């Protein structure tokens, strides 16, 4: 990864400082006039220098939609550092980057292969593009109760069954850090004249760690959307969209990004992307490698704590040698060939406490906040900001949590099922629902775009069985849709939703946040 001297500059920040220092009297937006009218609370949030520079659209500050100056230079530096053909700055999150990727590469009526564990932003992009999704199932790790990536065999079969597909959208890495065999998947897609589009929201740091999986662009992705803010140093809401090949039309993707982004982009957000790139150019390898070392140390120590399990290479170690290259569908493929070590998943199946209960205890009793919890796991992110002090504190807290919530032998025996498998193997015995990854498969009855624009009525959830869903229902985090517009609402899905609501999981996407009612399409379903 070569870097030139230009990488050690921050052109957007430099231009902002120059404008603020020029002394021009402001008769333009924003209304706080470079901080002169800012409320004291806002001044406490943002420095005086930051408020003076919080302007946009001046000549020297460039235009995100038609970059020709500092923004153009900053994006070129990002493309160089991340090894992309072209990189675009996005200031409405990776949701915006993903939707620009889909609108910029798909057309109405195009078939797109989509893993069922995608983020809800992908469904939004499919609705905007008017594409027709074909859902394919990721692999499931039954011990952890989480969805992994797609297997090569599953992708090969999907290509065979849907040769008309324009593209596949891959999730790489997953929220929990697991990486599928993306290189082989990309080869299969390109052989079939299909695009590889990647939701790489959690992979902006992969480029800089010597022991981390390769990033998507290096593995053949045509386009990849990264959340620069998630594990690197830019501000929340900032992302990059990397174009990796000539198979896509870069100008159309730029137009899609322009269509979906604000015409008044916040210059502070843009500058934070540029500065995050500068930081990675200066010390990215050092910081990311330190984070990996800390995470590996934590993983080893956590696995010494009775009742806790932190997964590693053993997840995919049983695969036959050579399968990762050959892509032989007859070989065991668990949907993972690598792990982002910075993601530390802690499985709690050996304790008498759920993930949601543990998250609340950690937050309020020990003042430690995890990234997410599910019924069986806690997820912690070790980023380039962490040091041994933070790692030591997390380890101490997990040791104390485990000591207070060890599952007794009597509890283990009482919770064994008919096959003799104990709760600690993953299932908490709730009416055949063991894991969030056991989500019932929904059947698509309408195109998502048609369902989104169809006449809608509101009914009680329990009375909506047999109806076509008219909104997106997801638990957040991780934001994977349980129901998408156009899918049939079944009794199994209603039971699944109610079970995880009772576990304290937070619903996202529904108009009724408690989901006592749900929006359904009038085209089909129950009658008045």
Cβ 136 vs Cβ 113: under 8 Å: yes
Is 90 exceeded by the pLDDT of residue 308?
yes
| pLDDT value, residue 440 | 84
Per-residue confidence (pLDDT) for residue 259, from 0 to 100: 96
* Stretch 65-70: mean pLDDT: 95
**Average confidence (pLDDT) over 112-116:** 94
233 closest CA partner among 168, 172, 279: 279
* pLDDT over 60 (residue 190): yes
pLDDT of residue 422: 34
Q: Would you say residue 415 has pLDDT above 50?
A: no
Which of 12, 67, 56 lies closest to 254, judged by CA? 67
Q: How far is CA 251 from CA 111, 371, 468, 481, in A?
A: 22, 36, 37, 31
Measure the CA–CA gap between 163 and 398, rounded to whole angstroms: 49
Q: Collapsing DSSP states into helix, strand and coil, what is residue 133?
A: strand
CB 316 within 8 A of CB 367: no
Share the mean pLDDT of the chain: 89
CATH number of 439-521: 3.90.100.10
Average pLDDT over residues 163-168: 98
pLDDT of residue 332: 61
Residue 424 has pLDDT above 60, yes or no: no
pLDDT of residue 118: 87
Higher pLDDT, 209 or 435: 209
- Per-residue pLDDT, 428: 37
Give the pLDDT band (50/70/90) at residue 441. confident
Cα–Cα dist 381/245, whole Å: 31
pLDDT at 389: 97
In the chain, what are the domain boundaries? 63-281, 286-414, 439-521
**Mean pLDDT on 410-418:** 44
The conformation of residue 233, written as its DSSP 8-state character, comes to S
Average pLDDT over every residue of 411-422: 40
Dihedral angle of Cα 223, 229, 235, 241, to the nearest 10 degrees: 0
Task: Tell me how far apart the alpha carbons of residues 203 and 88 are, in angstroms, rounded to a whole number.
Answer: 16
How confident is the model at residue 60, as a pLDDT?
A: 86
> Can you list the positions of beta strands (E) in 126-232?
132-136, 140-141, 146-147, 167-171, 178-179, 195-199, 223-226
Taking alpha carbons only, the member of 310, 405, 307, 392 closest to residue 360 is 405
Please give the distance of CA 374 from its chain centroid, rounded to a whole number. 15
pLDDT at 426: 35
Q: What is the pLDDT of residue 210?
A: 93
Rounded mean pLDDT of 260-283? 96
Average confidence (pLDDT) over 14-23 = 91
How wide is the angle at C-alpha 172 spanned by C-alphas 285 and 359, nearest 5°? 85
- pLDDT at residue 355 tops 50: yes
Q: What is the pLDDT of residues 130-163, one digit of tens each?
A: 999 999 999 989 889 888 999 999 999 999 999 9
Rounded mean pLDDT, 84-100 = 97
Q: Report the distance separating Cα 114 and Cα 180, nearest Å.
A: 14
* Per-residue confidence (pLDDT) for residue 219, from 0 to 100: 98
Q: Decide if pLDDT at 284 tops 50.
A: yes
Percentage of residues in the chain having pLDDT higher than 90: 77
Burial (0-12, 13-18, 19+ Cβ within 10 Å), 114:
buried
pLDDT at 3: 59
Q: Tell me, what's the pLDDT at 503?
A: 79
Residues 249 and 223: beta-carbon distance below 8 Å: no
Q: What is the pLDDT of residue 177?
A: 97
Task: Report the percent of the chain where pLDDT is more than 70.
Answer: 89
Supply the pLDDT for residue 201: 97
Range in 331-335, 354-358, 479-483 the model is least confident about: 331-335
> Does pLDDT of 429 surpass 80?
no
Specify whether the CB–CB gap between 34 and 20 falls below 8 A: yes
- Report the candidate in 389, 301, 323, 378 with the shortest Cα–Cα distance to residue 345: 378
pLDDT at position 73 over 90: yes
According to CATH, the topology of domain 63-281 is 3.40.640
CATH number for 286-414 (one of 3.30.70.580, 3.90.1150.10, 3.30.420.10, 3.40.50.2300): it is: 3.90.1150.10
Confidence of residue 104 (pLDDT cuts 50, 70, 90): very high
CA distances from 495 to 58, 433, 492, 507 (A): 55, 9, 5, 14
Q: Global pTM?
A: 0.88
Q: Which tops the pLDDT comparison, 437 or 47? A: 47
| Per-residue pLDDT at 323 exceeds 70 | no
């Amino acid at each position: 990864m070569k870097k030139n001297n230009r990488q050690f500059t921050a052109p957007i920040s430099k231009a902002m400082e120059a404008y603020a220092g020029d002394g021009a009297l402001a008769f333009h937006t924003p209304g706080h006039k470079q901080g002169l009218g800012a409320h004291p609370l806002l001044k406490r949030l943002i420095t005086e220098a930051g408020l003076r520079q919080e302007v946009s659209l001046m000549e020297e500050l460039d235009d995100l939609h038609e970059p020709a100056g500092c923004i153009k230079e900053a994006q070129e530096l990002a493309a160089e550092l991340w090894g992309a053909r072209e990189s675009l700055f996005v200031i409405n999150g990776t949701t915006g980057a993903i939707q620009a990727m889909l609108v910029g590469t798909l057309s109405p009526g195009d078939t797109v292969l989509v893993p069922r564990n995608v983020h809800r932003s992908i469904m939004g992009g499919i609705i905007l593009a008017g594409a027709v999704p074909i859902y394919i199932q990721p692999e499931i790790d039954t011990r952890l109760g989480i969805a992994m990536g797609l297997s090569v065999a599953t992708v090969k079969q999907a290509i065979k069954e849907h040769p008309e597909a324009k593209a596949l959208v891959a999730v790489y890495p997953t929220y929990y850090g697991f990486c599928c065999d993306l290189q082989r998947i990309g080869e299969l897609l390109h052989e079939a004249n299909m695009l590889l589009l990647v939701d790489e929201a959690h992979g902006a740091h992969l480029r800089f760690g010597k022991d981390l999986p390769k990033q998507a662009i290096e593995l053949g992705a045509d386009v990849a959307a990264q959340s620069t803010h998630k594990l690197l140093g830019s501000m929340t809401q900032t992302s990059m969209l990397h174009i990796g090949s000539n198979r896509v039309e870069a100008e159309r993707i730029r137009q899609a990004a322009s269509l979906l982004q604000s015409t008044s982009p916040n210059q502070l957000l843009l500058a934070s992307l540029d500065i995050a790139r500068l930081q990675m150019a200066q010390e990215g390898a050092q910081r990311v490698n330190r984070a990996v070392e800390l995470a590996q140390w934590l993983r080893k120590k956590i696995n010494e704590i009775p009742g806790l399990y932190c997964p590693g290479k053993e997840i995919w170690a049983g695969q036959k040698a050579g399968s990762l290259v050959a892509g032989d569908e007859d070989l065991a493929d668990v949907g993972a060939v690598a792990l982002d070590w910075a993601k530390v998943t802690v499985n709690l199946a050996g304790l008498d406490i759920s993930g949601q209960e543990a998250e609340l205890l950690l937050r309020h009793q020990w003042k430690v906040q995890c990234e997410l919890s599910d019924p069986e796991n806690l997820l912690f992110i070790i980023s380039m900001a962490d040091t041994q002090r933070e790692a030591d504190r997390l380890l101490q807290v997990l040791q104390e949590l485990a000591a207070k919530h060890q599952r007794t032998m009597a509890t283990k025996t009482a919770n064994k099922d008919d096959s003799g498998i104990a709760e600690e193997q993953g299932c908490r015995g709730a009416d055949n629902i063991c894991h969030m990854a056991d989500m019932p498969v929904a059947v698509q009855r309408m195109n998502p775009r048609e369902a989104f624009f169809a006449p809608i009525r509101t009914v009680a959830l329990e009375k909506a069985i047999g109806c076509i869903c008219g909104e997106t229902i997801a638990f957040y985090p991780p934001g994977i849709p349980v129901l998408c517009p156009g899918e049939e609402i079944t009794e199994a899905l209603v039971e699944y939703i109610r079970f995880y609501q009772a576990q304290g999981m937070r619903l996202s996407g529904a108009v009724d946040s408690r989901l006592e009612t749900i929006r359904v399409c009038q085209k089909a379903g129950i009658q008045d």
